[in-house]
Amino acid sequence: MKNWKFKGLYLKKGWISPAFVSTDDDGKILSIDSESFLKVDESVDGYAIAPIPNAHSHAFQYVMAGLTENIPKGHQGDNFWSWRERMYAIADQVSPEQMEVIASMLYSEMLRLGYDQVVEFHYLNKDSNGRAYNNPNEMAERLISAAKRVGMKITMAPVYYRTAGFNQGPSEAQRRFQYESTDAYFSQIEDLKSKYEHDSEVKIGYGQHSLRAANVEETKEIFAYSSEMPCHIHISEQTQEVEGSLKHLGARPVEWLANEVGMGQNTNLIHSTHITENEMQSIIRAKANVVICPSTEGNLGDGYFPISDFIEAGGRWCIGSDSHIGINPFEDLRLLDYGQRMSKQKRNIMLNGKPGDSAAISYDTVFDNGHLAAGESKNDYFQVGDDLDVLIINSQSPLMTRNTNDGRLATIVYALDNSAIYGRLKSGEWLVKKGVHIIHDEITQDFSKTVNDIN
């Protein structure tokens, strides 16, 4: 048993300050209170908040962050589709060993900055010749191994990918992504479920890369399993995709999915940037979840998701870091909010003119729906019986020295930078301390070699 004291702890009912938390020998919470007569074993001069889930990740893309902010000589302009060609060139090089190294570095950085669980939308599953590895789940298990190495909880979501576009066959450039059939895909899913069914750190999800990545029959077969576990799909990210769907399916992407396949609370729609009012309402009626990736969507020039209208109508949403051009969840929340503020020329657009706190509504939402996207449910940030997993904000950071708790969460979400993050506890043990992961040097050394070998 261990007794902790924090400067403050944030619950859905608000701040407890000071906060006393007792844990058992496994780091599970026994009690939470604002006062205690027990001896304090460790006092932390910081404010503790719950880390949040990262609901969308392509780990291998982290290695290319910062390398596409230019237009190569001889090219005219740049957009998502030209970026994609560069991404294919990187994907063509990554070995299983390199995948594990890249993911270890990425996940450790996510942990340091405020995430605690990642939904890995995994499609780089074949070797460089497009052949299955001896272990078909080699790449997926490398990603899981990386997560476990650094202390990240993971929802592994292999995704079905077979065709290069609507009414097209497979593409040579996408040979590492493709499955030969839905049977092969579901066989790999079942193998993963069997292997990790007793591992509390690993959950299994599934999905489809996009509507253009499979034919109609395959899409219906994939989504038939959405009542069992989280199902993820890229959708309506680009106007070209919407135009292709209208041409080949006779309807917009979300419209077609809603009418022809169906959606439910396990359906996670990645991006959904270009949706109509009717499509928005169909998402909300189905209680489906939209996963917004603000830094990636901004970097790729996708467009703005209509977040204030979606919130006003009662929609579910959370966030992910996708290509990892940015991996700070608070920066992503700011980018999402500020983009709409500039567009609408209003402040606190998340609240739609109603009294409340912009930080609280965002933080509550991404916590709750992020966990659902990852395949679990939580009722509060910290509860008796939970692991003591906390992100600690330095109480000596200038803006955190205010004596009042009013605006404290909003200060964290809107006003601080990475230097204010002191550390992370996982199951009552230090995972990140003074801003440094406990195996930072080991991870960085491996990553430095890999990033230079690939690039």
Active site members: 271, 322
Which residue in the block uniquely carries the two structure tokens 């576009």? 165
The token pair at 451 is 């990033």
> Using an 8 Å Cβ cutoff, are 59 and 99 in contact?
yes
Length of the chain: 455
Q: C-alpha angle with apex 168: 163 to 172, nearest 5 degrees?
A: 60
